[in-house]
Amino acid sequence: MASADTWRVGDGAGGAFQPYLDSLRQELQQRDPTLLSVAVAVLAVLLTLVFWKFIWSRKSSQRAVLFVGLCDSGKTLLFVRLLTGHYRDTQTSITDSSAAYKVNNNRGNSLTLIDLPGHESLRFQFLDRFKSSARAVVFVVDSATFQREVKDVAEFLYQVLIDSMGLKNTPSFLIACNKQDIAMAKSAKLIQQQLEKELNTLRVTRSAAPSTLDSSSTAPAQLGKKGKEFEFSQLPLKVEFLECSAKGGRGDAGTADIQDLEKWLAKIA
């Protein structure tokens, strides 16, 4: 089949380069028929490789959904809830965990969920490792303690946004406002406003920060439009907000409120 492909390619190109091809064919026929067969074989192998690589890069590398966020925002529990639906006790993650997730839409294709550790000293290391394979990024925010942690959330979000904008295929971006079961939890709308305000100031302070040690690194990418108040709609990637609750209302037995998240995952799959 591969050799047939090559011939077809040769025929297609034949129209434009007829004289050259004729002379080439003559040359080849003069010498030795084995040379031609070798050339065809090599071409076939190359074509297969290119074809294979194309398929491989498209299929497998862009199926990951990354769960990022600060420590204690509920990434791991959300991950568990999506996979099994049950409640599980969790600790601070030291490393990533990944699992295949079957999306419940009619096409029934699957995604790889990857839960990244949220601790300060690990988050960027793991983000760097997995960001190239990201099809989507779910940024989990603890809505209950949001007011207190808004600066940290914004700073991490800023970095994640910059990183994902730098990627070749920009992933879909979701900000999941978790822990809505707690009474003091902020709504998604409020969180969006606060984050926009905070990212606006962050843009200023970031551009004013002293340059890093190796001066080779260029100026960081600008988030949003210059001279305008920052809004998520200015970004080249679509950022969505939704509310969810991984723990659910009544203690361990409660059912999670993650239907919106499941729907979103089905949409992007």
Partner 1 sequence: MLDFFTIFSKGGLVLWCFQGVSDSCTGPVNALIRSVLLQERGGNNSFTHEALTLKYKLDNQFELVFVVGFQKILTLTYVDKLIDDVHRLFRDKYRTEIQQQSALSLLNGTFDFQNDFLRLLREAEESSKIRAPTTMKKFEDSEKSKKPVRSMIETRGEKTKEKTKNSKKKGAKKEGSDGPLATSKTAPAEKSGLPVGPENGELSKEELIRRKREEFIQKHGKGLDKSSKSTKSDAPKEKGKKAPRVWELGGCANKEVLDYSTPTTNGTPEAVLSEDINLIRGTGPGGQLQDLDCSSSDDEGATQNTKPSATKGTLGGMFGMLKGLVGSKSLSREDMESVLDKMRDHLIAKNVAADIAVQLCESVANKLEGKVMGTFSTVTSTVKQALQESLVQILQPQRRVDMLRDIMDAQRRQRPYVVTFCGVNGVGKSTNLAKISFWLLENGFSVLIAACDTFRAGAVEQLRTHTRRLTALHPPEKHGGRTMVQLFEKGYGKDAAGIAMEAIAFARNQGFDVVLVDTAGRMQDNAPLMTALAKLITVNTPDLVLFVGEALVGNEAVDQLVKFNRALADHSMVQTPRLIDGIVLTKFDTIDDKVGAAISMTYITSKPIVFVGTGQTYCDLRSLNAKAVVAALMKA
CB 137 within 8 A of CB 173: yes
In the complex, least distance from residue 49 CB atom to partner 1, rounded to whole angstroms: 21
Q: Cα(243)–Cα(187) distance, rounded to whole angstroms? A: 7
Q: Write phi, then psi, for 110 (nearest 5 degrees).
A: -120, 155
Q: Cα(244)–Cα(42) distance, rounded to whole angstroms? A: 55
CB 167 within 8 A of CB 131: yes
Pick between residue 87 and residue 241 the one whose CB is nearest to partner 1: 87
- Other residues' Cβ atoms within 10 Å of the Cβ of residue 143: 26
In the complex, least distance from residue 269 CB atom to partner 1, rounded to whole angstroms: 17
Pick between residue 37 and residue 205 the one whose CB is nearest to partner 1: 205
Q: Cα(163)–Cα(169) distance, rounded to whole angstroms? A: 12
Out of 15, 212, 218, 226, the residue judged to bind partner 1 by CB under 8 A: 212
In the complex, least distance from residue 258 CB atom to partner 1, rounded to whole angstroms: 15
Residue 150 interacts with partner 1 (CB under 8 A): yes or no: no
In the complex, least distance from residue 115 CB atom to partner 1, rounded to whole angstroms: 7
Out of 117, 171, 224, 248, the residue judged to bind partner 1 by CB under 8 A: 117
Pick between residue 1 and residue 208 the one whose CB is nearest to partner 1: 208
Residue 202 interacts with partner 1 (CB under 8 A): yes or no: yes
CB 243 within 8 A of CB 188: yes
Pattern 36-55, binding to partner 1, x per CB under 8 A?
--------------------
Burial 234-262 (b: 16+ CB within 10 A, else e): ebeeebbbbbbbbbbeeeeeeebbbeebb
Q: Cα(72)–Cα(90) distance, rounded to whole angstroms? A: 10
In the complex, least distance from residue 62 CB atom to partner 1, rounded to whole angstroms: 19
Out of 2, 36, 47, 83, the residue judged to bind partner 1 by CB under 8 A: 83
Out of 122, 165, 182, 266, the residue judged to bind partner 1 by CB under 8 A: 122
Q: CA torsion angle for 157, 72, 143, 149 (degrees, to 10)? A: -60
Name residue 212's amino acid.
Answer: T
In the complex, least distance from residue 223 CB atom to partner 1, rounded to whole angstroms: 15
Residue 142 interacts with partner 1 (CB under 8 A): yes or no: no
Residue 197 interacts with partner 1 (CB under 8 A): yes or no: no
Give the interface with partner 1 as residue ranges (CB under 8 A): 71, 76, 79-80, 83-84, 86, 88-100, 115, 117, 119-122, 124-125, 151-152, 155, 201-202, 204-205, 208-214, 217
